[in-house]
């Protein structure tokens, strides 16, 4: 072991940043590895994709978190594997030796093996994907407004499909209808009867983590906003022009936003551990990777599969799981550093779920709230968690402005295809 224990953390998401902050106060050397130079506030990604917020309002430079922590080093690179025998993390910028390794690498979109869908549909997990969606959707409005379009072509471009009825899908569909309301006021020569948003969900219900009455309320609000909600509907293919459903029905559309599932990032398969069906690394109750050779590799958050006691399925891929795991993981590694092998077992405390359906509309599971009150709670919770005091202020201004005026200034197309 070097002078100070070398802690290496993979991933600057909610879990990675949290545990790096905890270790920053200890007498250890920390290397935080991420392929992006920023922490992304993923729950608000849909607002970037629908022109409400700018990129830099939900992305925060990782180095800024650790400005005053000289023992924290940021290393921008793509993690590729772990050699547990040699205690090194392998990246595209070389190897990084560790005494303790924490994998907090997150999740990516799950297309369930449908290659063509993966190629043609839009994922929504990264800032680049959100920007792609924004550019594409705005561009389709410009294309549809050209006088030489056939009605079929125009309708196809003006049909926006969101696949997946979880919080991301519901929020995206709701936000799209509001973007359309804004476009309606400004594109004088387009027939908006052609414009529609469709939300497709494979199961009979949206927002699986919510009580049934709130699920129904969510569908009601979405439909009132103009979203066509198709439950019990499975996607079997998409070629960029026509979306194929299991029923045999087809929907002509140039836009499919895929929010129907997540899986662990591919790198998890090269970590020397045991992978669950969705690629997540199996972990012990103390958060150590199952079968860790030197008992010094841990995994937390979306990339880890925690399923112990009488749990019927793994913990959900949400921020509170990652941050709560970070706290216990930090404690356990500090115990090991001090020679104490009596590690703490992780117990998840469910804080309830919330989702916004649009301007002034949300559902909150616990305590149970709907409508404007729920939206205020949603706004408050997300605002206080955004990194950077100055960001909170500008985002608060934008949201308030947006609530009253319905104007969206973020509608700029930054790619150059014409």
Q: Which two tokens stand for residue 376?
A: 């205020």
Is 171 catalytic? The answer is yes
Cβ–Cβ < 8 Å for 244, 392:
no
Q: In angstroms, rounded to a whole number, what is the distance separating the alpha carbons of residues 64 and 144?
A: 42
Of 4, 21, 78, 290, which one interacts with a copy of itself (CB under 8 A)? 78
Question: What span, in angstroms and rounded, lies between the C-alpha atoms of 88 and 254?
Answer: 44
Given 81, 209, 272, 394, the residue binding a copy of itself (CB under 8 A): 394
CA–CA gap between residue 12 and residue 108 (Å, rounded): 14
The only residue of 22, 77, 231, 383 in contact with a copy of itself, by rule CB under 8 A: 77
| Displacement of CA 222 from its chain's centroid (Å) | 21
The residue among 282 and 387 lying less far from a copy of itself, judged by its C-beta, is 387
Q: One symbol per residue from 124 to 163: x for binding a copy of itself (CB under 8 A), - otherwise; what is it?
A: ---xx--x------x---x---x-x---------------
CA distances from 52 to 162, 175, 308, 397, 402 (A): 18, 9, 40, 11, 8
- Minimum Å distance from CB 336 to a copy of itself? 26
Using the rule CB under 8 A, is 25 a contact of a copy of itself? no
Residue (92 or 342) nearer to a copy of itself, CB: 92
**413 in contact with a copy of itself (CB under 8 A):** yes
Shortest distance, CB of residue 24 to a copy of itself, whole angstroms? 12
| 83 touches a copy of itself (CB under 8 A) | no
Residue partners of 54: CB distance under 8 A and separation at least 6: 48, 410
Mention every residue, 6+ apart, whose C-beta is less than 8 A from residue 188. Answer: none
- Which of 15, 24, 33, 57 lies at the binding interface for a copy of itself (CB under 8 A)? 57
Does residue 327 belong to the site contacting a copy of itself (CB under 8 A)? no
In angstroms, what is the minimal distance from the CB of 409 to a copy of itself?
6
Choosing from 140, 171, 172, 201, which is the catalytic residue?
A: 171
Residue 373 is a binding residue for a copy of itself (CB under 8 A): no
- Beta strands 361-364; 369-370: pairing state: antiparallel
Q: Count the Cβ atoms, other than its own, within 10 Å of residue 308.
A: 15
Binding residue for a copy of itself, selected from 41, 66, 122, 306, defined by CB under 8 A? 66
Cβ-based neighbours of 229, under 8 Å, separated by 6 or more: 165, 198, 199, 201, 206, 219, 222, 223
Q: What is the DSSP code string of 79-142?
A: EEEEETTTTEEEETTEEEE-SEEEE---EEE--TT-HHHHHHSEE-SSHHHHHHHHHHHHHHHH
Under rule CB under 8 A, residue 247 binds a copy of itself: no
Burial 227-257 (b: 16+ CB within 10 A, else e): bebbeebebeebeeeebbeeeeeebebbbbb
Q: How many residues bind a copy of itself (CB under 8 A)?
A: 57
| Identified binder of a copy of itself from the candidate list 25, 86, 93, 220, rule CB under 8 A | 93
Nearer to a copy of itself, 203 or 405 (CB): 405
Residues that bind a copy of itself (CB under 8 A): 35-38, 54-57, 59-61, 63-64, 66-67, 70, 72-78, 92-94, 127-128, 131, 138, 142, 146, 148, 185-189, 388, 390-391, 393-394, 397-398, 401, 405, 407, 409-416, 418
Catalytic positions, written as ranges: 171
């Amino acid at each position: 072991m070097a002078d100070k224990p070398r802690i290496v953390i993979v991933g600057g998401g909610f879990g990675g940043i949290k545990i790096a902050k905890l270790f920053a106060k200890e007498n250890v050397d920390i290397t935080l590895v991420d392929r992006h130079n920023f922490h992304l506030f993923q729950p608000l990604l849909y607002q970037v994709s629908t022109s409400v917020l700018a990129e830099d309002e939900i992305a925060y430079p990782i180095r800024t978190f650790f400005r005053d922590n000289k023992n924290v080093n940021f290393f921008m690179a793509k993690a590729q594997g772990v050699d547990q025998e040699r205690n090194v993390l392998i990246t595209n910028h070389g190897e990084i030796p560790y005494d303790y390794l924490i994998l907090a690498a997150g999740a990516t979109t799950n297309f369930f093996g449908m290659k063509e869908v993966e190629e043609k549909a839009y994922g929504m997990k990264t800032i680049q994907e959100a920007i792609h969606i924004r550019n594409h959707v705005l561009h389709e409005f410009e294309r549809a407004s050209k006088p030489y379009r056939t009605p079929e072509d125009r309708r196809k471009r003006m049909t926006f499909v969101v696949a997946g009825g979880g919080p991301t899908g519901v929020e995206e569909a709701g936000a799209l209808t509001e973007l359309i309301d804004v476009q309606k006021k400004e594109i004088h020569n387009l027939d908006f009867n052609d414009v529609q948003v469709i939300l497709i969900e494979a199961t009979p219900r949206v927002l699986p983590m919510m009580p049934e009455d709130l699920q129904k309320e969510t569908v009601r609000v979405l439909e009132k906003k103009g979203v066509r909600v198709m439950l019990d509907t499975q996607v079997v293919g998409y070629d960029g022009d026509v979306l194929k459903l299991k029923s045999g029905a087809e929907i002509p559309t140039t836009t499919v936003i895929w929010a129907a599932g997540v899986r662990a990032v591919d790198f998890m398969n090269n970590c020397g551990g045991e992978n669950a069906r969705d690629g997540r690394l199996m972990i012990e109750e103390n958060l150590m990777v199952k079968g860790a050779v030197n008992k010094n590799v841990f995994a937390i958050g979306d990339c880890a599969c925690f399923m112990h006691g009488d749990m019927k399925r793994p913990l959900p891929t949400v921020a509170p799981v990652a941050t709560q795991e970070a706290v216990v993981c930090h404690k356990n590694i500090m115990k090991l550093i001090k020679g104490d092998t009596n590690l703490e077992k992780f117990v998840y405390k469910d804080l309830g779920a919330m989702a916004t359906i649009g301007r002034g509309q949300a559902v909150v599971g616990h305590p149970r709230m709907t409508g404007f009150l729920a939206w205020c709670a949603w706004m408050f919770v997300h605002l206080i968690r955004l990194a950077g005091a100055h960001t909170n202020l500008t985002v608060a201004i934008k949201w308030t402005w947006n609530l009253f005026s319905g104007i969206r200034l973020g509608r700029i197309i930054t790619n150059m295809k014409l």
